[in-house]
Amino acid sequence: MTDQPSKRCPRCGESLPLYAFGPDTGTASGLRVWCRLCVNKSAAERRERYRQQNLTARNLEAADKVRAHIANHGSQFAKVETSADVQEDRRFVPAVGPHVGLMAHGNYEAHETQPTVKDRAWPVPMEDEPTKPGGGAILFVPDLHAPYHDRKAWALVLQAARLLKPSYVHLAGDMIDCYAVSQHEKSLNRLQDFKYEIDGANEALDELAAAAKGATFIYTEGNHEYRWPRYLSAMAPQAGRLPGSSMKDLLRIKERGWIWVPYREFYKLGKLYLTHDLEKSGVNAVRQALSDAQASIVIGHLHRMSVVYGGDAMGNTHVAACFGWLGGREDVDYKHRLRANREWQLGFGVGQLLESGNVHLSAVPIVDYECVVAGKLLRAA
Ligand SMILES: [Zn+2]
Ligand SMILES: [Zn+2]
């Protein structure tokens, strides 16, 4: 036994450590009365009850239709009379429109029934890509984890944007940390304020938009942005369908005129694939990305800086890259500090898209808050 502070959940009767209880500003303890597991269970039970009620209502409606049909046509549906029978026969359950499940399709464009072609970012034919004549400079911005980002490193990215005047900006995802809505066990020492995170992320995105005016922005959503639809899906699935509730809306992506690539999808810029991650991590993940994609690819997620070259049997050269990260090491707690110090590198990337669709790119590490872009030394004040 430890003398860790604990609290009893009246629903399951267990005495549990405090992190097993979600926050609640309405109680004296600041914690919810029921433990997280019970809260989730009760929500799931409630959802199932609603689902059953809905089903019954729909079955009754369907049964009416069948009866009307029989009255008009007699014949082949004569056997189907009770709502129980109707439930068996899915043909009579009216279609409820495309279910835009938060998780089901890996896409939470909740109030748009079908994602647009652009948003889906399937491999787009070359002529459909917003490739500007003559290509142009690209700025690659890796995991920012705003508002818990490294302000001095971020200032260098903004300086680089102003210097480079990129035609394209790739935001690799995890631009917002979404700590407040993470389903992971949380530290009691960290702030849990989702609005603070949204405001902080928007502030950073505004700064980048101003520094790289006129660029085409491509935002490949990461697993941290995806914490939000997962949270909604578990806690308040109906809220996820309300206009303005998606992460894309909260970050005002449409208003900004940016291209949004949902998590686990990719975007093709010239011959280069852009995505957040390929569900791998570790020291070899960039090399694995190269062999998984069999094409040139830029990913985020790893917080490591790595550029790997390789070819295919046809003699083409491919490159895979991850450009580090821009988060504040002091502010995140999901990795041991010593490992973060060793493996995570502050930095970003620059590149040039050519008319051929080829992309030349290089990593820009930030060391002692200095970096070199286009032959110029940038220093954060
Ligand atoms: Zn990630
Ligand atoms: Zn990240």
For the chain, domain boundaries: 1-96, 117-379
Provide the pLDDT for residue 282: 86
Q: What is the whole-number distance in angstroms between the Cα of residue 44 and the centre of ligand 1?
A: 28
- Nearest ligand for residue 327 CA: 2
Quote the crossing angle between the two packed helices 194-211 and 151-164, to the nearest 10°: 30
Cα-Cα-Cα-Cα torsion 195, 324, 122, 358, nearest 10 degrees, comes to 140
Provide the pLDDT for residue 54: 72
Provide the pLDDT for residue 48: 84
Going from the first residue of the chain to its last (381 residues), give the mean pLDDT of each consecutive group of 10, the final group possibly shorter.
78 89 87 90 86 72 68 48 39 32 32 37 41 79 96 98 97 95 78 92 98 97 96 90 94 97 94 94 92 94 95 89 92 70 91 93 97 96 82
Q: What is the whole-number distance in angstroms between the Cα of residue 133 and the centre of ligand 2?
A: 33
Exposed/middle/buried for 103, CB within 10 Å: 0-12, 13-18, 19+? middle
Provide the pLDDT for residue 329: 80
- Nearest ligand for residue 264 CA: 1
Provide the pLDDT for residue 190: 74
- Nearest ligand for residue 304 CA: 2
Give 64's contacts (C-beta < 8 A, 6+ positions apart). Answer: none
Provide the pLDDT for residue 335: 66
Residues 192, 180 contacting (CB under 8 angstroms):
yes
Cα 31 from Cα 227, distance rounded (Å) = 21
CATH 1.20.1070 fits domain 117-379: no
Provide the token pair at 230. Answer: 């997962």
Q: What is the whole-number distance in angstroms between the Cα of residue 3 and the centre of ligand 2?
A: 34
Q: What is the whole-number distance in angstroms between the Cα of residue 221 and the centre of ligand 1?
A: 9
Q: What is the whole-number distance in angstroms between the Cα of residue 343 and the centre of ligand 1?
A: 15
- Nearest ligand for residue 224 CA: 1
Enter the DSSP assignment of 31. Answer: B
